[in-house]
Amino acid sequence: MRVVVSGGSGFLGSHLCEALLRRGDSVCCLDNFSSGRAVNIAHLVREPGFTCTSCDVASRFRISGDAHAVVHLASPASPFDYNSHPLETLAAGSRGTENMLRLAVRHGARFVLASTSEVYGDPVVHPQDEEYWGHVNPIGPRSVYDEAKRFAEALTMAYRRNQGTDAGIVRIFNTYGPRMRAHDGRVVSSFIRQALEGEALTIFGDGSQTRSFCYVDDMVRGLVAMIDSPQPGPINLGNPRERTVRELAELVLQVTGSDSELRFLPLPVDDPVRRRPVITRAREGLGWHPRVPLGEGLRHTVDWFVSQPDTRVRPRQQSAVGRQS
């Protein structure tokens, strides 16, 4: 089938485009390259089933040909991006979501919204299942991303209920892997970059706050399963194994062979204290669960960072990575 992927040049979007092409689908990638990178899809541009259109899905755009599925990933997603582009983030979640929904309606296509665990805010229920409504500060520094996704979910369900749109929602928990940007402000990419460059690993708070890290290949399998499914969701996609931020930092140091120190800074406003998904719906409805252990996924990610010309790796540290890969 032909799948339209907004945000297809981003970290997660480029892996999804690649997986869809690999299984024989054709892909129409839409991206304005505000946070996505052309290099992420450079190896796909010569594929006969791949096209890419530079556009902002929050504005008017056109595609040629059919669409059998529409996946809406486009949005600034890292703390650096959504804090730098708050209005664009809100537009991607509101006008962007509706434009992609309208595209799905015109083509009678399956629509999948990539939502986020951020809709749970700083949760007071742990672990988080899809029945939990969340604990979100609507005017805080994270609100432009949280509320954009919450609105996108409401809009998606309104189209499903009132327009009969074949629409589904996935809530994505912390995802990591190759093609992350070194300076995007996410904890995995920040720790790896700092370790490889010999800087102190910056931990906010005392490091006891938890996250659930899912390798990108596992996440893509979940997205593809949702595309193929009639499930409405929302469905949590994430790794139910909970890790503290300090544990992650120590594992990154082990994988990279770095002797960087840990540096502790005050915890940001509204930073979630605990985050872990219940994935019963994903297991039962999609037949999905994560497979890649955190240590293995980190090794793949570190190897990718080392291979990039924009990562300044000291020779001593690079040889340490080589020994442990």
- Mean pLDDT (the chain) is 92
Q: Do 15 and 148 reside in the same domain of the chain?
A: yes
Q: Do 134 and 259 reside in the same domain of the chain?
A: no
Q: Do 221 and 310 reside in the same domain of the chain?
A: no
Q: Do 123 and 194 reside in the same domain of the chain?
A: no
- Cis peptide upstream of residue 138 (ω within 30 degrees of 0): no
> Does 145 qualify as catalytic in the annotation?
yes
Q: In this structure, is residue 145 part of a structural domain?
A: yes
Q: In this structure, is residue 136 part of a structural domain?
A: yes
Q: Do 10 and 43 reside in the same domain of the chain?
A: yes
pLDDT in tens, 129-182: 999 999 999 999 889 999 999 999 999 999 999 999 999 999 999 999 999 998
Instruction: Tell me which residue range forms the domain holding 310.
Output: 187-209+241-274+293-324
Q: In this structure, is residue 280 part of a structural domain?
A: no
**CATH number, residue 270:** 3.90.25.10
Q: Do 231 and 87 reside in the same domain of the chain?
A: yes
DSSP 8-state symbol, 285? I
- 3-class DSSP state of 259: coil
pLDDT in tens, 85-142: 999 999 999 999 999 999 999 999 999 999 999 999 999 999 999 999 999 999 998 8
Q: How many residues does the chain have?
A: 325
- Cis peptide upstream of residue 272 (ω within 30 degrees of 0): no
E strand segments, 123-273: 167-172, 175-176, 201-204, 210-211, 214-215, 235-237, 243-244, 262-265
- Sort strands 210-211 and 243-244 into parallel, antiparallel or unpaired: antiparallel
**CATH number, residue 171:** 3.40.50.720
Active-site pick, 82, 145, 159, 215: 145
Q: Do 107 and 11 reside in the same domain of the chain?
A: yes
Q: In this structure, is residue 23 part of a structural domain?
A: yes
Q: Do 154 and 30 reside in the same domain of the chain?
A: yes
Predicted confidence at residue 209, as pLDDT, reads 93
Say how many C-beta atoms besides its own lie within 10 A of residue 303's C-beta: 15
| Average pLDDT rounded to a whole number, residues 170-197 | 95
Number of domains within the chain = 2
Q: In this structure, is residue 286 part of a structural domain?
A: no
CA distance 16 to 20: 6
Q: Do 138 and 204 reside in the same domain of the chain?
A: no
Predicted confidence at residue 83, as pLDDT, reads 87
Q: Do 135 and 247 reside in the same domain of the chain?
A: no
Q: Do 74 and 156 reside in the same domain of the chain?
A: yes
Read off the pTM. 0.93
Q: Do 97 and 156 reside in the same domain of the chain?
A: yes
Q: In this structure, is residue 283 part of a structural domain?
A: no
